[in-house]
A and B are shown apart, each in its own frame.
Chain A
Amino acid sequence: MKPILLIARRELAAYLRSMSGYAIMAAALFVDGLFFNGMALGGEAKRSSEVLAVFFQIAGGVTMIASVLLSMRLLAEERQAGTITLLYSSPLRDREIVIGKFLSALVMLAIITAATVYMPALILVNGKISWGQVGAGYLGVLLLGSAALAVGTFGSSLARSQVIAALISACMVAALVVCWMLARVTERPLSEIFAALALWNRHFPPFTEGVVHLRDLTYYVGITYVALFGGTRVLEARRWR
């Protein structure tokens, strides 16, 4: 556990010392705020719970994009700068490197997500909100972000360039998101598989409405685990090359 925290702490400090960390945070909050004003608060009158649900849908979308941007540097930059040699020659397990990196990005994502809390607070000023819905919504956003970050970490392990890593990760996240479209044009059992794999369509909306299913929790934790496992295996394989 100690090496994981050591790596996570260094990585988090690197986010906070660099412009990129603040730029991603600022851009995410700007887009969140913009869409919140336009889509959640604008238009005809809505119930507070509906406004909150729209807010979490916006936050979920922004989180996925932010996750790809946050994760692109995690392992690709280490390879690009040659610092991966330091990690490889230290008494660490490859999974500790991957988890440490992932955790730092997850904390960064949690900071960005926490900074959106003024938006539900604005709803509270003009109406009532269910704290259960707020809790479930934020849990959903973090779980979705965790899965997208893990996929991004896997993408980052595949490339030496951060731009290529971001492209690979974006493609993988997009592929998982559009699985629901494939589910509509295929027959069972493929349609069921695609529907179950969809990153957004089936698993995320219940959280925005304040409903937490074990199925959805398991799905996001599962995607996170599989993607991090993949990233670990890529690091292990690189020791042979």
Chain B
Amino acid sequence: MIQVEGLSKYYGEQAAIRDLTFSIERGEVIGFLGLNGAGKSTTLKVLGCVLLPTCGRVVIDSFDLDRDPHEIRKRIGFLPENPPLYGEMTVARYLEFVAQLRGVPASQARARADEAASKTALREAMGEVIGTLSHGFRQRVGLAQALVNNPTLLILDEPTAGLDPVQIVEMRTLIRALRGAHTILLSSHILSEISQTCDRLLVIQAGEIVAQGSEADLAARMGARGVIELEVRAPAERALAVLRAVDGVAQAELLRQDGEVASLRLAAPADLRPKVVRALVAADLDLLRIDRGAAQLESIFLQLTQTKEPS
């Protein structure tokens, strides 16, 4: 669906991105991960047809960015880091305006605006003037404008930047709800966000892709073992014995015992969670919580970004 080959963008002698090559399949949710200044936003701006690349080829839905930029623009929705909002317009008028700007016929613009507002939980705010909205609502309006033309590719640059924890959870829920309907390219340097939302990661460092694949792929490639954390209501020794018997668990350790509840950590890939659950249920142990260890993606990211210093 998206094919990027040898994409570079230079500002004078300085390369913002260099020779990027990757592809994205229809319906995938891709996390674009990198430190500040790594080249994430530049790449997304090129894919969003805001900037022209110095060289390289981008093909989206069989349209070449060089030859058919307008066809590509009709098929993308782009939410930049700062949502492009006109403060004096109401949400409804703004969304209708953007819909028409992106080629939706005037007769359908209102319906598309309503649809985008429904997807982003904005129906209540349709009559509000954008300038009076809170930051969280403005970010939602930004997401709605990216969705209003029902794009095949949705490009979101740091969609949770500046949001409070409640708003971050709301935004993450909104993005998850879009899975399947759109191919999503999402940039962030917040690891938990990427980890919880995306199918596959592209890690960029100093303008170059240093790794791509699923979290498990990257962990395997970096030699990192996955981490699973869980809580069971059972004696720690019994739980450890059951877990150590699960095929694929390299190590199991007790973190703490609070009364009947044992908190445990397993050295095992996150994908092994269903097997772990089945083993505990078979042993008639009460599972209270199971989650992938937060440290996993962090350690992969640190390893990847420390292997190449920014130039």
Contacts and interface: CB of A to CB of B under 8 A. Distances in A.
Interface of A: 2-3, 6-7, 10, 13-14, 17-18, 81-92, 239-241
Contacts of B103: 91
Nearest to A10: B97
B82 to A, nearest CB: 4
B78 A85 contact: yes
B88 A18 contact: yes
A89 B88 contact: no
Nearest to A240: B52
B48 A89 contact: yes
Interface residues on B, range: 20 to 34
Contact of B74 (A91, A239, A241): A91
Contact of A3 (B50, B71, B82, B101): B101
Contact of A89 (B50, B87, B89, B100): B50
A86 B145 contact: yes
Contacts of B100: 2, 6
Which among B48, B98, B100, B145 has the highest number of chain A CB atoms within 10 Å? B100
B34 interface: no
Interface of B: 11, 45, 48-52, 70-71, 73-74, 76, 78, 80, 82-89, 97-98, 100-103, 145
A6 B88 contact: no
Contacts of A90: 73, 98, 101-102
7 contacts: A6-B101, A14-B88, A81-B84, A85-B45, A91-B71, A91-B74, A240-B51
A85 B101 contact: no
B50 A17 contact: no
Contacts, number: 63
A145 B88 CA distance: 26
A91 B76 CA distance: 10
Given A6-B100, A92-B101, A85 B84 contact: yes
A13 B97 CA distance: 12
A91 B86 contact: no
A231 B140 CA distance: 33
Nearest to A2: B100
B43 to A, nearest CB: 14
A14 B51 contact: no
Nearest to B69: A91
B92 to A, nearest CB: 13
Contacts of B85: 81, 83
Which among B49, B51, B86 has the highest number of chain A CB atoms within 10 Å? B86
Nearest to A90: B101
Contacts of B50: 85, 88-89, 239
Given A82-B84, A239-B50, 19 more contacts: A6-B97, A7-B101, A10-B86, A10-B89, A18-B88, A81-B86, A81-B87, A82-B80, A82-B82, A83-B86, A85-B48, A85-B78, A86-B84, A87-B101, A88-B50, A90-B98, A90-B101, A241-B11, A241-B51
